[in-house]
Amino acid sequence: MSKTFQLNKTLMAVVLASSTMLLVPTISQAGVSANAGMVSNYVFRGVEQSGEASASAGLDYDNDSGLYVGTWVADVNNGLEYDFYAGWSGDIKGVSLGLGGTYYGYTEADFDQPYKEINLSVGFAGVTLGYDKGVHEVVVKDEDYSHAYISYERNDFSATYGVYDANTDVNNNAINYLDLGYSMELAKGLDGSINYIYSSPEDSNIDPNTYLILGISKSFDVM
């Protein structure tokens, strides 16, 4: 995902969670699953990635111990984004904690350069607090970035407020965004979604953006 805000461009966020500290593993059935989908526009952490419809596909392995590993590919404005992630998730007395890692790569270097980040989260009663810390591998000098968010899910509704700082060494470049979503089952294993995203750069000279995104996805067990 191109995390640098681009003025010449006008949803799909993957929240990775896991943990390693004296936790009871989340009870789940081990196995491999796959997913495929499409959204009318790919916006990640308040930043537009495609500017048009974007298709995606992923493959995940989950272990009974709570360990997981996976990969995900999507269309972006120029070429493809390919992600790799892994971690461990668990909970204790209804509180979920997490620690994971993610790598974002791109087939076209002129679109963007790789990102590497650590993902932390804690959740309770539908509310999740998360923090992502990473490094953007740019040609001149690597840039440190951060992303903090709070989200709430209830039934088919979700709401996320986040702050993405593309370069922690530069002032006034953060993006504040609000993502309101609703999902529904269209058929067995086939889901639809609609998201409204309001993205407001910290720089007052840059106008906010709004997005209305329609999505459809299919998931299935491989083994």
- Cβ-count burial of 177 within 10 angstroms (0-12 exposed, 13-18 middle, 19+ buried)? buried
The answer for residues whose C-beta is within 8 angstroms of residue 211's C-beta and 6 or more apart is 10, 11, 41, 43, 48, 195, 196, 197, 199
Task: List beta partners, residue 159.
Answer: 152, 180
* Nearest Cα residue to 96 out of 41, 174, 151, 177: 151
Residue with tokens 């404005």: 77
Superfamily of domain 24-221, CATH level 4: Inverse autotransporter, beta-domain (2.40.160.160)
- The Cα–Cα gap between 148 and 168 comes to 13
Q: Is beta strand 24-25 parallel, antiparallel or unpaired with respect to 80-92?
A: antiparallel
- In this predicted model, what pLDDT tens digit does every residue of 87-112 receive, in sequence order? 999 998 999 999 999 999 999 999 99
For 64, phi and psi rounded to 5 degrees? -55, -25
Output the average pLDDT for the chain: 88
- In this predicted model, what pLDDT tens digit does every residue of 33-45 receive, in sequence order? 999 999 999 999 9
Contact 87, 23 (CB under 8 A): no
Contact 130, 151 (CB under 8 A): yes
- The Cα–Cα gap between 21 and 222 comes to 30
Percent of the chain at pLDDT > 70 equals 87
Concatenated DSSP letters for 79-117?
Answer: SEEEEEEEEEEEEETTEEEEEEEEEEEES-TTT---EEE
* pTM, entire model: 0.86
- The Cα–Cα gap between 49 and 2 comes to 6
- In this predicted model, what pLDDT tens digit does every residue of 61-70 receive, in sequence order? 999 999 999 9
DSSP state of 156: T
pLDDT means per 10 residues, the chain with 223 residues, are: 40 35 43 97 97 97 94 97 96 94 97 97 97 94 96 97 96 96 93 98 94 96 88
Q: Is 28 helix (H, G, I), strand (E, B) or coil?
A: coil
* Nearest Cα residue to 26 out of 99, 101, 88, 85: 88
- Locate the domains of the chain by residue range: 24-221
